[in-house]
């Protein structure tokens, strides 16, 4: 019985380690570079209003090529910062027509945020209020720390559950064997006694 339990403990630990290693491996492999191009128009990105939906995975390196495309002296930029609102603090240069800037950042924070143009003339509407904003979605790839703990606990519990029914089975066999042995011995004794009476 002792060696059986030891075997199950080793199996359980091996399964937990394997799951942990697989989880770790998928996290390391998740990092990818995502490239986008945005034309900074009046008053949108790749459009005269709004901007394309940008979807990346958490941990991705996001590379955005910004191309100034405003009319006349009007400049535009790309901002993803506290005013988005977001936990990021990214702001490009203000680009005039024909100017190019490539910005890069690691999408560490999952969630859905607004990117926008921060240019606001001294009079009149800001570019953002004219519609120069879009949405970026950073999909959470790595499970949260507490979720991973739950998974490990669930696995351990499942393994323990499959161990437990085996113990009653073994003891049932022992009980049945013992009852049979007693019965056989009893019958034998009864036979010997009944023969010796004759
Ligand atoms: Cu603008």
Contact between 112 and 31 (Cβ < 8 Å): no
pLDDT at position 3 is 63
Q: Separation of 122 CA from ligand 1 center, angstroms?
A: 13
Q: Separation of 42 CA from ligand 1 center, angstroms?
A: 6
Q: Separation of 56 CA from ligand 1 center, angstroms?
A: 23
DSSP 40-73: E-SSBBSSSSB---EEEETTPEEEEEEEE--STT
C-alpha 100/C-alpha 90 separation (Å) is 16
pLDDT at position 110 is 98
Q: Separation of 74 CA from ligand 1 center, angstroms?
A: 8
Contact between 8 and 36 (Cβ < 8 Å): no
Q: Separation of 30 CA from ligand 1 center, angstroms?
A: 33
C-alpha 5/C-alpha 95 separation (Å) is 69
Phi, psi values for residue 176, rounded to 5° = -60, -45
Q: Separation of 86 CA from ligand 1 center, angstroms?
A: 19
Contact between 39 and 45 (Cβ < 8 Å): yes
Q: Separation of 35 CA from ligand 1 center, angstroms?
A: 21
Peptide bond into 85 cis (omega under 30): yes
Q: Separation of 102 CA from ligand 1 center, angstroms?
A: 17
In whole angstroms, what separates CA 28 from the centre of its chain?
A: 12
Q: Separation of 82 CA from ligand 1 center, angstroms?
A: 18
Catalogue the E-assigned strands of the chain: 33-40, 54-57, 61-68, 79-80, 90-91, 100-106, 111-116, 133-139
Q: Separation of 134 CA from ligand 1 center, angstroms?
A: 12
Q: Separation of 68 CA from ligand 1 center, angstroms?
A: 10
* Run of H or E residues at 82: none
For each of the chain's 198 residues, which pLDDT tens digit applies? 566 666 676 566 555 555 555 555 555 555 799 999 999 999 999 999 999 999 999 999 999 999 999 999 999 999 999 999 999 999 999 999 999 999 999 999 999 999 999 999 999 999 999 999 999 999 998 665 444 433 333 333 333 333 344 444 555 555 557 777 877 777 777 777 777 765
């Amino acid at each position: 019985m002792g060696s059986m339990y030891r075997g199950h403990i080793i199996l359980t630990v091996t399964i937990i380690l394997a799951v942990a290693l697989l989880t770790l491996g998928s996290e390391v492999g998740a990092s990818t570079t995502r490239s986008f191009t945005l034309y900074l128009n009046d008053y949108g990105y790749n459009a005269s209003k709004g901007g394309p939906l940008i979807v990346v995975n958490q941990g991705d390196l996001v590379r955005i090529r910004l191309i100034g495309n405003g009319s006349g002296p009007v400049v535009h930029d790309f901002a993803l910062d506290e005013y988005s609102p977001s936990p990021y603090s990214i702001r490009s240069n203000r680009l005039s027509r024909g100017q190019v800037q490539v910005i890069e950042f690691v999408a560490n924070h999952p969630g859905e945020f607004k990117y926008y143009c921060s240019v606001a003339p001294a009079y009149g509407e800001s570019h953002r209020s004219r519609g120069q904003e879009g949405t970026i979605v950073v999909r959470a790839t790595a499970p949260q720390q507490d979720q991973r703990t739950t998974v490990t606990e669930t696995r351990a519990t499942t393994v323990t559950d499959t161990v437990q029914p085996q113990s009653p089975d073994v003891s049932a066999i022992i009980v049945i064997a013992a009852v049979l042995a007693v019965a056989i011995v009893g019958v034998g004794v009864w036979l010997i006694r009944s023969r010796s009476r004759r």
